[in-house]
Amino acid sequence: MKYSFFIFLLFLTLISCKKETNTDITLDIDNASIGFNFFDEFRQNQIDSVEIFFPEINKKHVLSPGKTITNLPAKDIKAIISKKGFVTQEIIYELSKSKTINDNIILVYDSFILEMPTDTLYAGHRGKQFSFSVRRNNVFEIEKPNWVKIDTLFTGSHSIKINIEVEENAENNHRFGFITFKNKDSKIKTPVYQLRKNRIESVFIEWHDQSSFEVNLIDSIDKIRSITTSNSYCYPNIENTTLQSNKSITFKSGCNFITQGITYNLTVQNLGGLDTLSFRFQGYDEKLDMNQYNENGFWNWKILGSNSTNNLYYTNDAGREIGCIDLNTFKVTSRSKFNFPTRHIAYNSFNKQYYVTSTNNILRKVNPTSGQILEEIFLSPNPDDHPESPKVIPEEVQFNKNGLGLMVNIGNNISGSNVFSINTADKNKITRLNYFGSENYYSSVALLYNELDFSIRQYSRLFLWKTSNNTFESYYDTYVFTPFNNLAIYENRFLNTVTHQIYGDPIYGHIYAFDKVNNLIYSHTQDQQRSQWITYYDLYGKLLNKIPTTSIDMKIDNTGKYLIFWVSSKNSIYRIRTDYFKKKMELKNWSENL
């Protein structure tokens, strides 16, 4: 029993001694703490996941800002502070003097830091300026392409303003390079990409009263910002603007007149910014300014000669001149001076000769290229023209394929007629046609489809002279006889002259050009709003298209390829490709006169 009690007392003594030992260790280890906040050297960015290692007690902690490590010994202790990308630091904390410490740790980057954007800087061909206020932790050198300028301005101990200017790109290629900020072996690269000037590669049109355009570019764009017009006769509504495959722009627009140009300005956007691309639509493919040849304009102009030639001849009364324009090259090929005023010119397919009228009683056969007078045909006044001062002056003449001509003359017209025939196949025999009265002036002599018979106008009447049986027919002036078999235009409708059937779409015009090669009829038309158009029809009277115009006087060339317009106010003639009327066509002169 005594032995058992002794053992119990010994056990209590041992327990009491162990508790005192633990109390001493706790007082030495557990009653100190350190609170941490972590910043980078710019003192603006807090740093997370920083490693704290105490080698003396072999303890490691990974901390976020604002965290505290407790249970540290109340003595001086070394902490090793580290994080990838920063310089490792060693700090002795004197916990023997203060058991609670709060510390703000400034972590220094272990490499050169410049907070420049590393994404590509994009500039358009005109150049661009960029400005960045950034932070850096050291001095640096700059390497750059020679087409980039850079200025720097120090604004604080760690801050700097960097101004970058990309100069205009006058080259035909894109430019790419790097702006490199270098400190010893550390480099920060910012890519810079400058686009070349985008250009229009081709322009296509489907020409109507509201035309469809397709504009193809050499480089892609992101967006069409606007399409406007300038230097135009009117300002159209632009519709249905669409971006196709990033390089093709389509839209619809009116105001595309035959001899009046219009400039389209397309503002587009790509990575380099906004850019404006322009093209000019001109309905004509060639223009000839006649002021350099003939300041007085035309007295008469006709497309004459055999079908194998394609020449336009013009006369000039004041200049006493006959000129020739090759419609294929659209150049003046000859200018011949004469000793008399030159007025109406005609071609005789029977003898392949040219005739010209003047201001006296002579009809002359001439060589319009050499200026040679080949023959002079004198006309005598009618005895009953005027009792005191009779006169006769050839005004217009037209020949049929047999060499017979219908000639309108100017006289005093007290009585009798001044409409004559002249037969070049019978020694220039001149015959007065008594059917025509003397009280009114006759004009507009034309050859009919059979190339034998003639039409002639007299104010409110139209007359036909059928040379085969020497008969005459009279019609109202609303008739127009065409060079097509059995086809006339009557009160703005097509008329079969045999069946007298009226058919087809209305033709609200009064000036016509007849394309005998392609069997088409072109007409100058004016609607109720006084808008003017060039319309064209097939021989069934179907309206095929209409094009806005301000020009009236037109002719078709011998090939059917070109319409020719004379604009007297500008003393200029214009050539229009008839293909433009019929299908989608590529513009060839879209960059002219921008």
CATH code (residue 243): 2.60.40.1220
Same structural domain, 424 and 564: yes
**Of 16-25, 331-340, 507-516, the least confident:** 16-25
Pull the structure tokens for residue 113. 């830091």
Q: 484-542, pLDDT tens digit by residue?
A: 999 999 888 999 989 999 999 888 777 889 999 999 999 988 766 667 888 889 999 99
Q: 377-401, pLDDT tens digit by residue?
A: 999 887 776 777 778 889 999 999 9
CATH number at residue 546: 2.40.10
Domain coverage including residue 34: 25-107
The Cα 257–Cα 416 span in angstroms is: 47
CATH number at residue 333: 2.130.10.10
> How many domains would you assign to the chain?
5
Same structural domain, 80 and 141: no
- Does residue 592 sit within a domain? no
Cα 538–chain centre separation? 31
Q: Degrees (nearest 5) of the Cα angle 466, 472, 474? A: 120
Quote the pLDDT of residue 352: 95
Rg (CA), the chain: 49
SS (H, E, C) 458-517: ECCEEEEEECCCCEEEEEECCEEECCCCCEEEECCEEEECCCCCEECCCCCEEEEEEECC
Q: 223-262, pLDDT tens digit by residue?
A: 999 999 987 778 788 988 999 888 999 999 988 888 888 9
Same structural domain, 97 and 182: no
412 HSE (CA, 13 A, CB side) = 12
The Cα 283–Cα 207 span in angstroms is: 9
Quote the pLDDT of residue 25: 35
**Complete DSSP assignment for 414-451:** SSS--EEEEEGGGTTEEEE-TTS-SSS--EEEEE-TTS
| Alpha-carbon distances of 559 from 137, 500, 505, 520, 540, rounded to whole Å | 80, 31, 26, 12, 21
Residue 440 confidence class, pLDDT cut points 50, 70, 90: low
Residue at 452: amino acid letter: L
User: Please, are residues 275 and 123 in contact by the beta-carbon 8 Å criterion?
Assistant: no
Same structural domain, 211 and 253: yes
The most distant pair of C-alpha atoms in the chain lies apart, rounded to whole Å, by: 188
Cβ neighbors of 47 (< 8 A, separation 6 or more) are 38, 39, 40, 65, 83, 86, 107
Which of residues 281, 313, 347 is at a domain's end?
Answer: 281
User: Please, are residues 280 and 272 in contact by the beta-carbon 8 Å criterion?
Assistant: no
- Does residue 20 sit within a domain? no
Same structural domain, 445 and 363: yes
Same structural domain, 538 and 423: no
Quote the pLDDT of residue 413: 64
Same structural domain, 368 and 449: yes
Same structural domain, 415 and 535: no
Q: What is the pTM of this model?
A: 0.74
Tokens 């090259």, residue? 329
The Cα 208–Cα 202 span in angstroms is: 19
